[in-house]
Amino acid sequence: EDFHGFDPSSFDGNMVSAEQLAAMVVDAIAANAPRNGQKLTIGFANLQRDISFCLKVEQGIVANAEAAGIDLQIVDNRLDGATALANAESFLQRNVDFVIEFQTDANFGATIMQKMNEANTKVIAIDIPMPGATFFGANNPKSGFMGGAYLGQAAIQKFGADKVKTGYLVVGELPQSGAVPAMRTNGQVAGFKGAVGEFADAQVIKIDTKNTLEESFTQMNNVIGRIPEGVPIMVTAINDQAATGMLRAVKQAGREADLIVVGMGADEIQTLIDEPAFVASVGYFPERYGNFLVPLALMELAGKEVPDTVLMTHYMVTDGNVCEFYKDFACSATPDAITFELPEDAYKAHLEEIRKLPELQDSLNLIPTN
């Protein structure tokens, strides 16, 4: 359905105009009068405000809310379930008209949604699903698989297929963040294997990045001794920050020549450009989340039908195409650029496999069909 030029199923992700937004607000107010009698108010609960990804999401939402002329109340869930619950309550206390939740874990969703339903407040959930809320966010299995496959193909181009098999894949994980983000890192491994074929499990090293730069650095430092001199070190991680920390550690150990990195999220563009070993990152475009979220919210408030799941479209971001996504950065041709192809069969098989995993049975709607 098209809502003043916004169709969630075919939206390109560029911010809609202020006029369009204003028209949406008019519709929304007509269907749902502002609860404070003056202005529509959207509550946004951010996951943890000092994570750059989350901040970019927040900035996108702020920009859209300002353009639409609606009020925004922002809280910080601080990666904590109890805080998320208290924050949700504070939204109800403030009579917000709509809530955008970016919270820690799918399992906390039910309780928060119960309160929201009681108060008749609609919710969009970002990246972590909540029952009965519209889901908007990353396509975890696909983005992970893309990144892993890209890493494999780029590594073959750089080191040759035989040498790659002697190398090590190091994945910076975040195990405590749950099954849904884990689809990303598992996808990375599957994608990598899909691209390089047989690859010994013993040569896959997983480290816990604890979602910080310094921990990624430290743990990469710790494992680097396990990787024999001269073999390829192929690095990917849960996000660009972790990938960067790992990259720094390898560089510091003086083994940059053996290194190849594919990031996740494309939110450390400067590093991507500056570091030759950092060849690509899977684009998440968090700064565009707001472009989806605010129109989606207004659409729901206006009483229009919205799909229950809106997944982000991901693209590989490289030195060669970065300018297409981020105008502030220039594109540059690199000699080792590759033409990326998603190994479709392996990808299908991977999706089949994870659909059977018991821990994902509650999140099947987040597993794409293609």
Partner 1 sequence: MATTTETAAAAPSLKRRFMELLAKPWSGVAMLLVFYLILIAVFSILSPFFFNTRNMLQIGLNVAYIGLMAAAGTPLIIAGGLDLSVAAIAGLTGVMISLLVGLGVPVWVAVGLALALAAAIGVANGLFTTRLKLNPLITTLGMMSIVSGIALVLTGGLTRPLMIPGFNWIGNERVFSIPIPLIIMVVTFFALWLVMTKTKFGRFIYAAGGNAEASRLIGIPVERTVIVLYVISALAGAVAGTILGAMLGAAGPNAAGSQLLTVIAAIILGGTSLNGGRGSVWGTLLAVLILGTLNNGLTLLNVSSFWQDVTRGVVLMLAVSLDQLRNRALGE
Q: Which residues are near Mg ion by CB under 5 A? A: 278, 319
CB 248, min distance to partner 1, A: 6
Pairing status of strand 233-237 against strand 278-283: unpaired
Choose between 202 and 333: whose C-beta lies nearer to partner 1: 202
* 278 binding partner (options Mg ion, partner 1, none; Cβ < 5 to 8 Å by kind): Mg ion
CB 307, min distance to partner 1, A: 25
Choose between 173 and 319: whose C-beta lies nearer to Mg ion: 319
* 222 binding partner (options partner 1, Mg ion, none; Cβ < 5 to 8 Å by kind): partner 1
CB 328, min distance to partner 1, A: 14
The answer to whether the beta carbons of residues 74 and 330 sit under 8 Å apart is no
CB 27, min distance to partner 1, A: 26
CB 238, min distance to partner 1, A: 13
The answer to whether the beta carbons of residues 297 and 354 sit under 8 Å apart is no
DSSP state of 235: E
DSSP state of 73: E
CB 262, min distance to Mg ion, A: 10
Choose between 128 and 279: whose C-beta lies nearer to Mg ion: 279
Which residue in 340, 364, 362, 342 sits closest to 351, CA to CA?
Answer: 364
CB 60, min distance to partner 1, A: 14
DSSP state of 330: -
d(CA 98, CA 300): 9
* 344 binding partner (options Mg ion, partner 1, none; Cβ < 5 to 8 Å by kind): none
* 104 binding partner (options Mg ion, partner 1, none; Cβ < 5 to 8 Å by kind): partner 1
* 223 binding partner (options partner 1, Mg ion, none; Cβ < 5 to 8 Å by kind): partner 1
- Classify residue 4 as left (phi > 0), alpha (psi -120 to 50) or beta: left
d(CA 79, CA 61): 19
- Classify residue 199 as left (phi > 0), alpha (psi -120 to 50) or beta: beta
Choose between 27 and 76: whose C-beta lies nearer to partner 1: 76
The SS3 of residue 280 is strand
* 74 binding partner (options partner 1, Mg ion, none; Cβ < 5 to 8 Å by kind): partner 1
Residues that bind partner 1 (CB under 8 A): 49-52, 55, 73-76, 78-83, 85-87, 89-90, 93-95, 104-108, 110-111, 175-179, 205, 207-208, 210, 212-215, 217-219, 221-226, 241, 244-245, 248, 251-253, 270-271, 274, 359, 362
Choose between 95 and 157: whose C-beta lies nearer to partner 1: 95
Pairing status of strand 316-318 against strand 278-283: antiparallel
Strand segments, DSSP code E, in the chain are: 41-46, 71-76, 98-101, 122-126, 134-137, 168-173, 204-208, 233-237, 259-265, 278-283, 309-311, 316-318
Choose between 75 and 306: whose C-beta lies nearer to partner 1: 75
Tokens 């989806």 correspond to 292
Choose between 213 and 311: whose C-beta lies nearer to partner 1: 213
Choose between 12 and 50: whose C-beta lies nearer to partner 1: 50
Hey, what amino acid is at 126? I
Beta bridge partners of 73: 43
